[in-house]
Amino acid sequence: MTKSEPKASNVNNDLIIYRLDEIKNEIVDIKKQYVTKEESLAMKAEIHGLRTEIAELKRNRNLIGWLYPTASAAFSAIFTYLIIQFFNNNR
């Protein structure tokens, strides 16, 4: 009598294949939550560009912040001087 090796049932094989498919789907779902290296580099470049733009806007805002009041004061002083000269010349 020869001993035959026990064979795995088809049910076990089907369960293993089904579980492997579930694991593959879970891995795909997990990968969707993470960014790739290229996406990460692109986001870093975009962040750097946005920081540069913000710094430029702050610098321009500081320039405009003192330029407008200075120009307004100069214009008011010149206008006041011209009005005084006008009234002095009309006497």
The pLDDT tens digits of the residues spanning 22-76 come to: 999 988 888 888 878 888 899 999 999 999 999 888 887 777 778 888 999 999 9
Q: Among all chains, which residue has been given the structure tokens 């610098």?
A: 59
Tell me phi and psi for residue 56, to 5 degrees: -65, -40
Angstrom distances, CA of residue 37 to CA of 24, 31, 40, 43, 67: 21, 12, 5, 10, 45
The predicted model scores a pTM of: 0.42
Predicted pLDDT of residue 3: 60
How many angstroms separate the most distant Cα atoms in the chain?
A: 141
With cut-offs at 50, 70 and 90, classify the pLDDT of residue 10. confident
> Residue-wise over 12-35: b if at least 16 C-beta within 10 A, else e?
eeeeeeeeeeeeeeeeeeeeeeee
Predicted pLDDT of residue 56: 87
